[in-house]
Structure 1
Amino acid sequence: MKGLFCTVFVLLLTQPLNSCKRYYERRCGFYVLPRLPLSIYHDSYMSLRYPTVAPVVTPLPHGLPAELQEAPKDCGTMGVNMDSSIIHGNNAPENSWPWQAFVQGETKVCSGVLIAESWILTVAHCINNTRAITLGRIHVDRWEANTIQRSAAMEILHKHYDQRSKGGDIALIKLSSPVEFNNNVRPICLPTKSEIPKIPVTCVVTGWGLTNPKLELIHNHLQQLKVNILPQRRCRFLWSLKGLTIHNGHVCLDFNATSPHAGVCKGDSGGPLSCQVNGRYYLYGLGSFVEGGCQKELIPDVFTRVTEYMDWIHETIRVNS
């Protein structure tokens, strides 16, 4: 019976070397490898290679910052029912996407996301002496009734931001004074670090970015576009053709499945990737970078994966509140 067990055990081994199999054949039942964590990627692909260093998870010493603990129970909701036909990109309706922020820098405009009464989340490459942050805005060329504007009291870039590798492209802006939440100004829900959207999942990107790259003008009306999340292995492969390594801190969008020939463009940086879960929208990404022109069919657009930076977000807000 023991010989049969050993034979089955050897057949189940995933080690490719015959020498390893012979080793276990000689010692089956007498040797146990130490249990080590497996490497698991975000698209649920599992690697059976043992990592050289076990991951270290350092819990936050003080839990959630007070501002995030006090986020309203209706985070990630809006005062308008969204049409399920957001396909090729269209004008966002009034009172929609109340966490969308219009971020005006010294030489560029970007988007950001309201996550607490005094905090905006955006990407690091958008930080450029921020002059004004506007909330509750749908149109760029008009001042609407419920529009709120603040200046930046503090700008904090992630310490590992690297413009060349595109890593750590995330930043926090502390507002000059807190905002009061209402139907037009409301924070998005933040996911926990372990919450990763299941593929396939449909989300929405929003922004005022260019719709015609030749005009070099941002769109006057906030645009919304339904997208899918691309499996991480596929994204890594496609970007490797361009010589760029996609990290776990990146999440890629698949426009071909929902909106062929559409995509994000200049002015959309820092905009939210909002994914609906159980009736609420959660922030899973921030517009980071695209390849070449704004409309492409092969290389996916890349967003900063927010779940990879949740510890940094919590700790940064805690020590600066």
Structure 2
Amino acid sequence: MEKLSEYFNNCKVLVTGGTGLIGRQVVDILVDCGAYVTVTSLDNLNLNPNAVYKKMDLTKIENCLDLTSDIDYVFHLAGIKGSIEVTKSMPASFFVPLLLMNTNILEASRLNNVKRLVYTSSIGAFPSAEVFREEDDNSAPPMDMFPGWAKRMAELQIKAYKIQYKKNNFYVTRPCNVYGPGDNFDPKNAMVIPSLMARISAGESPLSIWGDGSAVRDFAFSRDLAIGILQTLIHGTGNFDFLNLASGKGVTIKELVDTMSEVIGFEYEFDTSKSSGFPKRVMDISNAKKIIGYNHTTTLKEGILETWNWFQKNKKEYLERKNYFSDEG
């Protein structure tokens, strides 16, 4: 924190998606470091009294030009999260807004000569594999078809800037499955951990878990990833186009549910008639450790407890957030 404070003190910083899962953590840390923080989001939330919140649509280039004017650093974290079912049934609701907001905020940052920028891509931009490394072949199609391609396009845009405009201080990170306070707990489109918590809170018993529990995933706590993103802006990504940010540890779905049950207390059963999904998805974070000094310190049990306690006090917050999957579009 001392090193971060030295770097960000008195700097003017824009955080897109600053009311989201990772963004709110980035905002809080930056404020504590003495930065002047502007947050843009379509959520009806003003979370940190020492940050300036602007509700602006990033799919409009004029808004992005206004937001990035006279800004030192940009953390482009705005994105769209949703369950596998929503991703398959409403692909345009992912693909089109992501393409527009990414293209616009990156171009506006270039035109306004932002000094440094970090863009958060996703594990879904990787081709299918079990262990994901930056140095592996990245040319095959992404695992997450529509959102994965949208993320890839932003990565390619930054690569184009580096070639043509020498924007070597624009960086990319690829986070894994992130959870924590401020997650999306909407049962209609939430990811694994918040979806299970919402169903537990609603009284489902026994809780039905798809598959046999053998699938392995990499779950990272949002505050750890926020620190990694801040470190990336300072140190860059070395010779890689992006850096992995994750826990670096594989956890089976059974281990996840057992840990949640230990913390929360509930009955559950596995529905083996349903698919378990990809057998394994784990990130190698050795490059992030070497290049930026990244270290994921929160245990799964600690993260689950903090997330559950936050959710119990903020069960309706998701209703104040932009829903890209509503009937209104």
- TM-score bracket, normalised by the shorter chain, equals under 0.3
Higher-Rg structure is 1
Structure with greater proportional helix content: 2
The two structures have a TM-score, normalised by structure 1, of: 0.26
Structure holding more strand per residue:
1
What is the TM-score with the length of structure 2 in the denominator?
0.26
